[in-house]
Structure 1
Amino acid sequence: MTCAALTFAGAAQAHVAADPKQAIAGSYQAVVFRAGHGCNDVHATTAIRVEIPAGMAAARPQPKPGWSLQIERASPGAPVRAVTWTGLLPADQFDEFAILFHLPKEAGTLYFPTIQTCQGAVARWTDIPQAGQTGRLEHPAPSVTVTTPEPAAPSAGHHH
C-alpha cells in the first residue's frame, strides 16, 4: 500500500509549477515556472511552452543564457499568447523560467497550460479544473490565485 500511495502522490504533483501561488490583482508580478525534472524522470527537457491566459495587460519573459526564446502573439503589438524557451535541461536537474506579468484587476485563478517537450517524450501540464469538479487532476496546469488587496488599516493617532 505504501508503494501505491507514493506512486499516486508522485503522479499528482505538477512537474512544472508556478511560484508564487498567490499575487495581488492589478500588480506587476514575476512568476517562475519551475521544471522539477525531465519527462518520466529520464528524458532531458528541450522546450518549455507556457500559454498566457487572456486578460494579462503585459507578459515579459526573462531570457535564459543557453536557451532561445520565442514570444507568440496573434499580431504585432497584440498581447502575448505564449512563451517558449528552447534549450537543454538534463532529466536529473531542475530549472526556472520567469515571466513578469501585469495581472488583471479582478480576483480569480489564472491557469498557465504548459507543455514540457523532452527528448523522446512530451508532458502536457494542461489540465484545468472544471466547475464542480472534485479530486486531483492528473496533469494540472500551473496556476496563480489573484487576490484583491487588503484595505489599508486606519492610521493610529490620526483623528479628524
Structure 2
Amino acid sequence: MHLIRTLAASTALLSALASAHVTLDQPQAVAGSAYKAVFKVGHACAGASFTTGITVRLPAGFRGAQPMPKAGWTAVVQRAALAEPYESHGRRISEDVVEVSWRANSADSALPTAFYDEFTVRGTLPAQAGTLWFKVRQSCDVGEVDWAEVPASGVSTEGLKAPAARLQVGPAAAPAHVH
C-alpha cells in the first residue's frame, strides 16, 4: 500500500511539474500603484538540469522598472523609446526599461531543476485597470521555453502550452468622503 501511495504522489508531482510555468507571486494589484513583480520559477526547461537565464519583456504601461540584483547572476536592462511618453517627478520620460534579463554567472550559480527561485522587478502600474501580460523567456542548459502565449480573448490561460504571466490590475480605490 505504501508503494502505491508513493507512486501516486510521484505521478502527481511529475504532472504538476510538467504543467508548471513561470508565474507571478501576487497576480493582482491596484492601478497606479507601485508593484513588485516576483516571478516564480519552479523548474528548468523540459529535459534540462538547470535554468541559466530569465528574460522578462515588460508590458506597455509598466513604468520605471528596476530589477532586484541576485547573487551569482548578472542583471541587464534594455531601454527603448516609448510610444506614449509620461511625466514622472516633473520630468518627461520618453524612454524606459522594456526588458530585464538575469544570466547565471557560472554553472554553480545556475538554478537546478529540483530547486525553486524568484526573480524580481519593481515598477509602477498604469492608472487604468485591466490585464497586463509579462512574457518570460526561460533559458536552460538544454533549450529554452518562451512563456509568452496570451489568450486570443479573455484572460483564461487554460489550454495554452506556454502562457505568459498574468497580472490583473484592479481599479484604484475611490477616495474616502470626509466631512
Asked if Structure 1 and Structure 2 have the same fold, meaning a TM-score greater than 0.5 normalized by the shorter chain, the answer is yes
Is residue 74 of structure 1 aligned with residue 90 of structure 2? no
Count of aligned pairs between the two proteins? 152
Instruction: Return the alpha-carbon distance in structure 2 between the equivalents of residues 72 and 144 of structure 1.
Output: 21
Q: SS state of the match for residue 61, structure 2? A: coil
Conserved 8 A contact 1:114-1:141: yes
Is residue 145 of structure 1 aligned with residue 168 of structure 2? yes
After superposition, what is the alpha-carbon deviation per residue over 1:25-72, rounded to whole angstroms, capped at 9, x for unaligned? 000011100110111264200000000011122111101111001101
After superposition, what is the alpha-carbon deviation per residue over 1:75-125, rounded to whole angstroms, capped at 9, x for unaligned? 6x7211110000111111111001111000010111011000000111111
TM-score of the pair, normalised by structure 1: 0.83
Which stretches of structure 1, 4 residues or longer, exceed 6 Å deviation after superposition?
none
Query: In the alignment, residue 27 of structure 2 is paired with which amino acid?
Result: K
Alpha-carbon shift at residue 12 of structure 1 (Å): 4.0
Conserved 8 A contact 1:49-1:83: yes
Is residue 57 of structure 1 aligned with residue 63 of structure 2? yes
Q: SS state of the match for residue 74, structure 1? A: strand
Could you say what the CA RMSD is over the residues aligned between the two structures, in angstroms?
2.5
Alignment of 1:1-160 (within 5 A): 10-14=17-21, 16-40=22-46, 42-74=48-80, 78-87=95-104, 88-131=110-153, 135-152=158-175, 154=177
TM-score of the pair, normalised by structure 2: 0.75
Alpha-carbon shift at residue 150 of structure 1 (Å): 2.9
Runs (5+) with no aligned partner, structure 1: none
Query: In the alignment, residue 168 of structure 2 is paired with which amino acid?
Result: T
Change in Cα spacing, 1:86 to 1:133, as seen in structure 2 (3 Å) is closer
Conserved 8 A contact 1:19-1:31: yes
